[in-house]
Amino acid sequence: MRTEIRASGGRGRRCRYLRRARRRAPTIAVLFAALPAAIVLSGCGKAGEDYSREVLHALDQGKVTGTKGSMETLGRALAAYAVDHGAYPAGMTLQDAVAGLVPAFLPAAITTDAWNHPFAYRSDGRSYTLTSPGADGTIGSADDLEMVDGRFTRVPSRGSS
């Protein structure tokens, strides 16, 4: 690990923290760029409201994309497990299924979606269903994402998020 020396001659922790902050900068920069503009424009009447709604929708669509990616990763791991074992992990919880997938088929456990809600999983061994409750955290609503045997059967429409 490279340490930087301050002008006073001492080694400081401050530089290490700045380097960590720079690594996280792209994600944080998006939030700092979009949210203040949305807040400022929200005071500008209808145009501000529309812009704020678009920014929040874009952030939500990013979470939909991230959740789809996590579900696809889980789907590939479940398919690989099924090839090796002749069946999908049976059970009613993803935690039970993930226990059989890590580390052979999945490098780390994935049990929650981008909104930090737990995925719902059920399988009889021949087929599986993986569901994200979406932004509202409730399974059975319009914003759910559902995958059956590696194929998405339900993805939220543009207006439902």
What confidence tens digit (pLDDT) does each residue in 44-55 have?
666 666 655 665
63-110: pLDDT as tens digits: 899 999 999 999 999 999 999 999 999 888 889 889 889 999 999 999
Other CB atoms within 10 Å distance of the CB of residue 83: 9
Does position 24 have pLDDT exceeding 90, yes or no? no
Q: How far is CA 6 from CA 10, 19, 20, 52, in A?
A: 6, 14, 17, 42
- What pLDDT is attached to residue 132? 96
Long-range contacts of 6-9, Cβ-Cβ distance < 8 Å, separation of 24 or more: none
Residue % of the chain over a pLDDT of 90 = 48
CB atoms inside a 10 Å sphere around CB 76? 13
Maximum Cα–Cα distance for the chain, whole Å? Answer: 67
**HEC states along 82-133?**
HHHHCCCCCECCHHHHHHHHCCCCCCCCCCECCCCCECEEEECCCCEEEEEC
- For 16, 17, 35, 97, 154, the CA distances from 71, given in Å and listed in that order, are 35, 33, 28, 13, 12
Which is more confidently placed, 159 or 133? Answer: 133
**Kind plus residue range of the DSSP H or E element containing 148:** strand 145-148
pLDDT band at 61 (very low <50, low <70, confident <90, very high): confident
DSSP state of 24: H
**CB distance 119 to 131 below 8 Å:** yes
